[in-house]
Amino acid sequence: MLFRERYEHELRLVRGSQAWVVAGLAGALLLALPFLVKGYLVYNMTLFLVYALVALSLSVLVGLTGQVSLGHAGFLAAGAYVFVLATQHGLPYLLAVLAAVLVSAVLGVVIGVPSLRLEGPYLAIATLGFGLAVQQILTNWRLVGASRGTLVDRPVILGIDFYGDRAYYYLVLALAGFVTWMLFNLERSHVGRAFRATRDADLAAQMSGIGLARYKTLAFVISAAVAGLAGALYGPLVGYITPEGFNLLLSIKFLLMTVVGGLGFLPGALLGAGFITGLDLVLSTFRSWSQLTFGAVVIAVMMLEPAGLYGRWLKIKQFWKSWPL
């Protein structure tokens, strides 16, 4: 199915038999992976899943509604720290995760509402400031270890210990998989179309009865909540969190994932997260050349492929499908 010809096509989550095969293979691979590779790769895969959530959350915000954010490490930090505080106060795991998501969502409102009137560079700098402010507040907040950071334990849920790499991987995979599925559904729903309408022509969207303020804020809230969830998963994964870890560089990396992967496509965010996490892993033995190489790769992607990695994938797919036309 090369083109979407009917409204039902538009509504489908997985389009066409080949897509089913790809999705099935990817799912099977993700499930089998911990038994195929060594522990450190399981760790890196889990980190990829966490970063993929952040990249997805940014993709909803930047890709679907066109609001740029250079402060998503701030939401990640908020999620991670709320999770730690909640578990320290004896909240069970899932409630602690929920608390992290809720607090981040509230922060999303706090940032989203003043951002309604902002666009482009103004919004970029305002969100950048949000990220820095979160970092500074945490650095001076004694309750959560201030600049020394704090240790985070892996959870025990209903007597099941998730300390091991595989166990924790499956926990993250389950939660990340569920949220990814929700976001893919959201994109196809009327909300997703409203998001895209505000991005492409906000005045026209408003004329068509889409409440700009409502949808723009909603995008911020969803994005912040998902990033907060990623934060709650990030803490126990790394085992130790410190304010300096949630810096501007990390926020920039998340934006890189989203754009390099392919802006406006949710699968692109997944590709981008995998690409950047993998690039970091490969470059860790490049010594003094690593930063230059990283920058050069990013430049190359932006210069060669306007729609990012996912765009390239779509083109390759189109080429084979329509071959030899």
Partner 1 sequence: MSGLDQLAQALVSGASMGSVYALVALGLVLLYRTTRILNFAHGDLGVAGTFVAYTLLTQLRLPFGLAFPLALVAAAVIGMLVYLLLVRPAKNQTELGLLILTLGLALALGGLDALVFGTDNKLVPTVVADRIIRFGGVSLSLVSIVTSLLGVVLMLALWALLSFTKLGVAMRAVAQREDVAEAMGLPVRTVLMATWAAAAVLAAAAALLFAPTTLLNPNMMLDPLSKGFVAAVIGGMNSLPGAVVGAYILGVLELLVGLYVSLEFKASFAFLVVVIVLVLRPHGLLGRADVKRV
Partner 2 sequence: MKRLLALITVGAVLAFAQAADPGVTDTEVLLGSWGPQSGPAAAWGTVNIAIDAYFRYLNDQGGINGRKLVLSSRDDGYDPARTVGAVRELIDRDNVFAFVAGVGTANGQAAMPLIKRAGTPWVGPATGAVVFTEQSDGLIFTSFTDYVVEATLMTRHAVETLGSKNIAIFYQNDGYGEEGLRGLEAEVARLRAAGYDVTIGDRVSYERGTTNQGVQALRLRGSGADTVLMFSDPSAAATLVGEFQRLDYKPQMLASVTLLDPALMANPAMQGALFSVFLRLPSVIVGEGNGDPIADQLYRDVIVAYAPEIARDPFRALAGIAFAEPAVLALQAAGRDLTRESFVAALKSIDGYDTGLYHSLSFKDGYQGNNSVMLLQVTPQGLRPVSDWLSL
Binding site for partner 2 (CB under 8 A): 38-40, 43-44, 47, 136, 139-140, 147-149, 151, 234, 237-242, 244-245, 249-250, 280-281, 283-288, 290-291, 294
Of 6 and 287, nearer to partner 2 (C-beta) is 287
Residue whose tokens read 């998989």: 177
Q: 208 or 293, CB closer to partner 2?
A: 293
CB atoms within 10 A of CB 285: 8
CA 164/CA 237 separation, integer angstroms: 10
The contact pattern for partner 1, residues 2-41, with x = CB under 8 A and - = no contact, is: ----------------------------------------
Alpha carbons 187 and 40: distance in angstroms, whole number: 34
Segment 59 to 118, residues that bind partner 1, using CB under 8 A? 62, 68, 114, 117-118
Q: Which is nearer to partner 2, 47 or 226 (CB)?
A: 47
| Closest approach of partner 2 to the CB of residue 277, in Å | 9
Binding partner at 53 among partner 2, partner 1, none, C-beta below 5 to 8 Å by kind: none
Residue 112 or 145: the one with the smaller Cβ distance to partner 2 is 145
The Cα 250–Cα 76 span in angstroms is 10
Smallest gap from Cβ 314 to partner 1, in A, equals: 15
> Judged by CB under 8 A, which of 163, 306, 315, 319 binds partner 1?
306
Given the structure tokens 């400031």, which residue do they identify? 129
Nearest to 249 by CA among 280, 281, 208, 224: 280
Give residues with Cβ within 8 angstroms of 152, minimum separation 6: 80, 83, 84, 87, 235, 236, 238, 239, 240, 241
Tell me the CA distances in angstroms from 24 to 21, 27, 39, 51, 249, one per residue in order: 5, 5, 24, 22, 35
Other CB atoms closer than 10 Å to residue 294's CB: what's the count?
18
Comparing CB distances to partner 1, the nearer of 115 and 180 is: 115
Largest CA distance in the chain: 66
Give me the residues that bind partner 1 (CB under 8 A), please. Answer: 62, 68, 114, 117-122, 124-126, 128-130, 132-133, 136-137, 139-140, 201, 203-204, 207, 248, 252, 255-256, 259-260, 263, 288-299, 302-307
